[in-house]
């Protein structure tokens, strides 16, 4: 007689009078394949843990976002936010789709150039632009988004030395009715500082003012905050036109569109609460269309959306290391993916799905990573199907920030593979080895021998 | 070990404790073990029975069995003498 599939016994208390998901049947199915490629085969070939990116998903998401804007407004340009995911293969997919590059450091600037983007299609943001990189950016005709007065005067200084006219925009911060207000970056609109900076640039005459920029925050759940931002930026553009008879070429709305991840503590899942690309596009384009800017002067709308374009395309696959019952009776599961590889678990309740068949029973479980550290919590509490040691799982929506903000801590960083639209799996970043890591270290002579 | 003999165990995985009015939900292996306990089956016999029926090993069953008892104790469905 064939034996039955085994599952460890579980018992959950039902709380009467309160809607509760304990012990209820799970609604989700195992993820056995990503883009028709077997999860188990990826793990066999490329190890566990391993990051997986779906190129098909990146392209589809990008096209969907772009269409939301181009159906509402004539001039739209995306610029890929490098910090969100600067794997060269990922950047090149976005560049092939027509995205420019948005960078915030010399390191990212070099990457964009190496990825084949021409200097005049690089937006240089952020508070950290060295004189040497500003010089490169000016010589390349890149779009320099000025963050503060010190930077403005450094650039004015450089124009005299280089005898070039830099293309500049100012970053503007403002109250858009949401919290937190990102007031650290750029010039404030509400107290008149942004208007003052614009006057200084236009009176100077050695700088070419090309745009206005705002990045009002990240994971913005209120699309109408962008309407407020657009209205304020359009007001600046209108005043510039009135006073100087000068037309500003573009308004850059930064990033900040929410991905469909669920924030920790949120009552409803992100899939139910996040605005759609159409919602954001409606909020943004209407702010320009309904402004006092004349249609012949309509600026190009630039978008630096990061997480919303790449989160869904990324997965991390891993393995269950152990199941434990803690002293207080609660159940916990230890997996081989820690916060060093999944930085975003500090904000998101990431969905963990078994990669093999599971029964409809769930258990309330804490999920911990493999690091020998108390902070290494992937899910504080989740109703998860029962998995045993050695089982595989898929964590979804991890494409944004994890492959850049990861840490080499206690373990080495694993391989990253990308599935092309034809279903072929490509290694786009090798797993790190001890040897790679040792390349950066030097041992003083007197320490070569330890006894 | 004392098991509460009044427990109402339904085949679809629900258990009702008339002493406290509390309800629990269990998966099939959980129901099975609880029923064996109710009929005073010994630990060795339970482990053997499960081993014969399911595709797993003795160590796993023993480990899971002991953990399961911890939970039953936690919910006061069994008590140590
Ligand atoms: C200037 C700028 N643009 C774009 C982005 C991308 O933001 P998001 O991933 O929220 O779309 C960021 C992220 O912080 C940013 O600072």
Does the beta-carbon distance from B75 to A9 stay under 8 Å? Answer: no
Picking from A1, A6, A385 by the largest number of B CB atoms within 10 A of its own CB, the best residue to mutate is A6
Do residues A215 and A161 both lie within one domain? yes
Specify if A89 maps to a domain.
yes
Do residues A353 and A410 both lie within one domain? yes
Do residues A281 and A398 both lie within one domain? no
Do residues A37 and A103 both lie within one domain? no
Q: How many CB atoms lie within 10 A of CB A61?
A: 21
Instruction: Quote the ligand 1 centre to A339 CA distance (angstroms).
Output: 21
Token reading at B78:
């069994």
Q: Which residue among A263, A287, A311 closes a domain?
A: A311
Q: Which residue among A291, A311, A331 closes a domain?
A: A311
Do residues A287 and A406 both lie within one domain? no
Rounded Cα distance between B8 and B12, Å, is 12
Q: What is the pLDDT of residue B16?
A: 87
Instruction: State ipTM.
Output: 0.93
Picking from B3, B12, B14, B30 by the largest number of A CB atoms within 10 A of its own CB, the best residue to mutate is B30
Do residues A122 and A203 both lie within one domain? yes
Please state the domain extents for chain B. Answer: 2-79
Domain made up of B2-79: CATH architecture: Orthogonal Bundle (1.10)
Q: Give per-residue pLDDT as tens, B5-61.
A: 788 888 788 888 888 888 888 999 999 999 999 889 999 999 999 999 999 999 999
Do residues A220 and A290 both lie within one domain? yes
Q: Find out whether B27 and A10 touch, Cβ atoms under 8 Å.
A: yes
Counting the structural domains of chain A, the total is 2
Instruction: Quote the ligand 1 centre to A289 CA distance (angstroms).
Output: 24
Q: What is the pLDDT of residue B81?
A: 55
Q: Find out whether A258 and A251 touch, Cβ atoms under 8 Å.
A: no
Do residues A251 and A358 both lie within one domain? no
Does the beta-carbon distance from B24 to A325 stay under 8 Å? Answer: no
Domain that includes residue A403, residue range: 26-53+312-437
Do residues A320 and A384 both lie within one domain? yes
Does the beta-carbon distance from B75 to A13 stay under 8 Å? Answer: yes
Q: Determine the 3-state secondary structure of A246 from DSSP.
A: coil
pTM of the predicted model as reported, rounded to 2 decimal places:
0.87
Does the beta-carbon distance from A9 to B26 stay under 8 Å? Answer: yes
Best residue among A82, A215, A344, A399 to mutate for probing ligand 1's pocket (most ligand atoms within 8 Å of CB) is: A215
Rounded Cα distance between A234 and A173, Å, is 14
Spell out, as residue ranges, where chain A has pLDDT lower than 70. Answer: 15-27
Instruction: Quote the ligand 1 centre to A378 CA distance (angstroms).
Output: 24
């Amino acid at each position: 007689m064939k034996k039955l599939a085994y599952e460890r016994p579980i018992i959950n208390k039902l709380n009467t009078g309160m809607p509760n998901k304990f012990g209820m049947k799970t609604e989700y199915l195992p993820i056995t394949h990503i883009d028709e490629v077997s999860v188990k085969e990826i793990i066999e070939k490329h190890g566990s843990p391993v990051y997986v990116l779906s190129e098909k998903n990146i392209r589809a998401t990008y096209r969907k976002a772009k269409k939301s804007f181009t159906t509402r407004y004539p001039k739209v340009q995306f610029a890929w936010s490098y910090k969100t995911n600067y794997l060269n293969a990922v950047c090149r997919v976005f560049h092939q789709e027509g995205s420019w590059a948005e960078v915030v450091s010399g390191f990212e600037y070099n990457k964009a150039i190496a990825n084949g983007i021409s200097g005049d299609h690089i937006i240089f943001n952020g508070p950290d632009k060295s004189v040497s990189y500003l010089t490169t950016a000016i010589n390349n005709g890149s779009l320099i988004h000025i963050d503060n007065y010190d930077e403005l005067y450094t650039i004015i200084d450089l124009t005299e030395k280089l005898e070039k006219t830099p293309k500049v925009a100012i970053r503007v911060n403002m109250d858009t009715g949401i919290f937190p207000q990102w007031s650290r970056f750029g010039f404030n609109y509400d107290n008149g500082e942004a208007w003052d900076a614009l006057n200084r640039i236009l009176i100077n005459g050695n700088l070419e003012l090309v745009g206005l920029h705002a990045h009002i925050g990240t994971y913005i759940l209120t699309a109408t905050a962008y309407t407020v931002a657009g209205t304020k930026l359009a007001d600046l553009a209108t005043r510039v036109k009135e006073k100087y008879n000068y037309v500003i070429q573009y308004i850059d709305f930064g990033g900040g569109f929410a991905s469909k991840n669920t924030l920790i503590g949120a009552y409803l899942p992100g899939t139910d609460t996040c605005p759609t690309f159409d919602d954001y596009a409606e909020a943004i384009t209407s702010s320009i269309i309904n402004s006092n800017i004349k249609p012949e002067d309509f600026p190009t709308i630039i978008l630096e959306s990061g997480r919303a374009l790449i989160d869904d395309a990324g997965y991390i696959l891993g393995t269950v290391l152990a199941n434990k019952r803690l002293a207080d009776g609660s159940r916990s599961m230890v997996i081989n993916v820690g916060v060093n590889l999944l930085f975003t678990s500090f904000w998101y309740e990431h969905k963990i799905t078994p990669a093999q068949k599971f029964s409809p029973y769930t258990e309330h479980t804490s999920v911990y990573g493999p690091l020998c550290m108390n902070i290494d919590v992937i899910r504080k509490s989740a109703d998860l199907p029962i998995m045993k040691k050695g089982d595989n799982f898929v964590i979804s929506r991890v494409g944004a920030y994890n492959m850049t903000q990861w840490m080499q801590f206690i373990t080495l960083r694993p391989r990253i593979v990308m599935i092309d639209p034809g279903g072929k799996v490509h290694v786009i970043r090798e797993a790190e080895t001890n040897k790679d890591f040792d390349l950066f270290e030097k041992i003083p002579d007197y320490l070569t021998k330890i006894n | 070990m004392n098991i509460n003999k009044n427990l109402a165990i339904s085949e679809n995985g629900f258990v009702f404790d008339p002493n406290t009015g509390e309800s629990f939900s269990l998966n099939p292996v959980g129901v099975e073990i609880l029923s064996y306990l109710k009929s005073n089956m010994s630990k060795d016999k339970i482990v053997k029975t499960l081993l014969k029926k399911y595709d797993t090993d003795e160590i796993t069953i023993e480990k899971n069995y002991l953990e399961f008892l911890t939970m039953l104790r936690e919910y006061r469905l069994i008590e140590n003498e």
